[in-house]
Amino acid sequence: MNPSETLPRRADLLKVTRLRGVLWAAAAAALVSLGLEYGFEQPPLPIALLNVVQLAAIVIYVGAQVAEIVQATSPLAALRRRWFDALLIVGCAVILLAEAETTGQPVLKASTVYVATLQIVLVARFALGVVRFNLALSERRLRPGRMMVGSFAVVIVLGAVLLALPKATSPELRHEEAHYFTEHLVNCLFTSVSATCVTGLTVFENTGRDFSRFGQVVILCLIQAGGLGIMIYGGLFGLLLGRQLSLRHSLALQDALSHRTLGHVRHMVWFVVVVTLLCEAGGAALLYSMWPAEVGPASERVFHSVFHAVSAFCNAGFSLQADSLVEFRGAWQVYGCVMPLIVIGGLGFPVLTNLFDGARARFRRVRGATGADGIRLPHSRNRTERTPLTLHTKLVLSSTILLIAVPTVAFFVIESIGASDGQNDVAGLLPPAMADLPWHQRISAAFFQAVTTRTAGFNTTAQDPASLSPASTFLTMLLMFVGGSPASTAGGVKTVSVTILALGVYSTLRGRSEVEGFARTIPQSAVRRSAVIVMVMFCLVGAVTLMLCVTEQGESLGEVLFESVSACGTVGLSTGLTPRLTIPGRVIIMLAMFAGRIGPLTLLVALSGGAAPGRYEYPQEHPVIC
């Protein structure tokens, strides 16, 4: 290569790097100005000055985009690549000119429409920049595990900053004497971790009362982002922008979705987003009529419906009521809407994809079996390709049905021993324990408890030791440890891992050398991975429990263990210990929730860097097992 050609290229690269630095600095200054304007009751700086900073960021952004398009070899191709930026610029210009024409004032003195337009463009531009940064990061030599850990950490920090703004909390909470700055930052970080990791544990006793609408919207966005995974959103926006997913980004999405076919990741991303939006929209529509008149006007009821539908589908467990769903234990929506959302969100997207493909193939087969004149065609002409259920789908469905049916019976039987049959329920004013409910309500409460304990976090009965028997508490911890299914919004060791180990025990008792299930042989690698996941989760729960026993000296072992399992399994159920945790205890729970959402094994692999597989084997020697 000619050295005279290398110097101009280096100069161009340096110029591009500096330009990007200026753009990010301008975007950061604009976002800080937005936070100062909307995050405080009385902004520390004049609003006019903050608007000037936002205007300057827009001018820099527009100038950079125009310069890049003009200097490109093919301006038309560059414009097609930057169609979203061009749309933002044109839309902003049209609104500003229309506003100036209507008011007869100069553009710089336009009314709030002008300011709002600039701010919307700033937020959209920042979101676009984050997506492009995510796509560029995926093209680098980063392992999928590290990309997942880093993306979750960035969202958690951003959410904590937004929740720490004074306007995110209610005025009553801001004026409490115990509302110290350091403790408040820790509590906001705790809430951000809990929402992003779709856990539901809260140090604030009432999310609907202690957070303003702005704070509740931030929590809702964190739940949605954490429930589906940040990598999925990066892939979605990349596809919307017309970008082809890189190999490394596709591998990261494949790992996040537990998808086997790399070429179908693009379709899987669209399927995940569409199913999520449809389920959450349908759930919100069904929940609308559940809220009493005390909630407020129609807008409040809509927000309550959307919030709880998203929280249920993402298995987050966040509720705007202090007692979760105890107040609505008699509403049909709790069992006909919230429970199906929890189960669907916990099945995992590979299972939903397989079921959808099977239903579509069956529909085509039935439609193809009838001719245009309505006459049924011969069987030989109607045979179409079938889409059978995969082994993964069979394992998930069978284990899910079993883990709902058996605990439901167990909870009902356990809590029926010495039950009062509703005699302690004072006109429904007090949230009774499960044993205090009439027998028909006890059945529904046991059913809901069996569903929600596997990472959902909602509850229709109190979970404290005085309201739930020790046997039910222990059964709840076992279900929280198991969790939901792989590639879902749920946590835990996952149903497939436990099912594979159970099949391994059954195969061993039958004298079989291989683990078998549903007329299929399960590879030894899957058996080993399942055993490792269960063991690592067991060690994580043990370590968290031990550390909490040191930091929370006055608490009982049962409550500490319950809190540890709930955090590591990203469930969100609590006996009431969470608000009483010390600051070191809250940090421990935050780390436990983060490890539980990422996956203990994935987190260990990401931190260790991944060792290269060995190319040798040692001689075999059988140790004494029993």
Within a domain: residue 590? no
pLDDT of residue 116: 56
**Residue 523 counted as domain residue:** no
Average pLDDT over residues 159-171: 86
Q: Is residue 171 part of a domain?
A: no
Range name among 140-154, 205-219, 268-282, 544-558 with the lowest pLDDT average: 140-154
Enumerate the β-bridge partners of residue 314: none
What was the pLDDT predicted at 24? 67
Residue 134 has pLDDT above 60, yes or no: no
Q: Residue 372 domain-assigned?
A: no
Q: Which residue has the higher pLDDT, 126 or 508?
A: 508
Range of weakest confidence among 99-113, 345-359, 610-624: 99-113
Q: Of 75-89, 416-430, 512-526, which range is least confident?
A: 416-430
Tell me if 39 is assigned to some domain: yes
Tell me how far apart the alpha carbons of residues 433 and 440 are, in angstroms, rounded to a whole number: 14
State pLDDT tens for residues 535-581.
Answer: 989 999 999 999 999 999 888 999 999 999 999 998 988 888 998 99
Q: What is the pLDDT averaged over residues 386-395?
A: 82
CB-based contacts of 582-586 (< 8 A; 24+ apart in sequence): 582/551, 582/552, 583/183, 583/186, 584/551, 585/548, 585/551, 585/552, 586/186, 586/187, 586/190, 586/203
pLDDT at 341: 92
Q: Which two tokens stand for residue 422?
A: 């509703």
pLDDT beyond 70 at 179: no
Q: Would you place residue 236 in the very low, low, confident or very high pLDDT band (cuts 50, 70, 90)?
A: very low
Q: What is the mean pLDDT of residues 199-207?
A: 86
Whole-prediction pTM: 0.80
For 317-342, how does the pLDDT look when each residue is reduced to its tens digit (9 = 90+)?
A: 899 888 888 888 888 889 999 999 99
Please compute the mean of the pLDDT values over residues 176-194 and round it to a whole number: 80
**Higher pLDDT, residue 69 or 580:** 580
Per-residue model confidence (pLDDT) at position 593: 92
Residue 262 binned pLDDT confidence (cut-offs 50, 70, 90):
very low
Averaged over 449-467, what is the pLDDT? Answer: 86
The pLDDT assigned to 284 comes to 93
End-to-end CA distance of the chain: 69
H or E, element range at 515: strand 515-517
Which whole number is the average pLDDT over 418-446? 69
Counted domains in the chain: 1
Residues contacting residue 29 through CB under 8 Å, at least 6 positions apart: 53, 56, 57
For residue 122, pLDDT over 80 is answered with no
279 falls within a domain:
no
Residue 374 within any structural domain of the chain: no
Residue whose token pair is 């198991």: 482
Q: Which pLDDT value is given to residue 621?
A: 81
State the pLDDT confidence band at 7, using cuts at 50, 70 and 90. Answer: very low
Helix (H) or strand (E) holding 126: helix 112-138
For residue 520, give the 3-state DSSP assignment: strand
pLDDT confidence band for 107 (50 / 70 / 90):
very low
Dist. CA 225–CA 197, nearest whole Å: 9
Domain with 28, as residue range(s), is 7-138
Distances from the Cα of 178 to the Cα of 37, 173, 299, 340, angstroms: 26, 9, 32, 40
Structure tokens belonging to residue 52: 């000037």
Q: Which residues lie across from 516 on neighbouring strands?
A: 521
Whether residue 129 lies inside any domain: the answer is yes
Q: What is the mean pLDDT of the chain?
A: 76
Q: Band of the pLDDT at 114, cuts 50, 70, 90?
A: very low
- The angle subtended at Cα 462 by Cα 458 and Cα 467, nearest 5°, is 150
The residue count of the chain comes to 626
Q: Which residue has the higher pLDDT, 369 or 523?
A: 523
Q: Give the mean pLDDT of 379-393.
A: 64
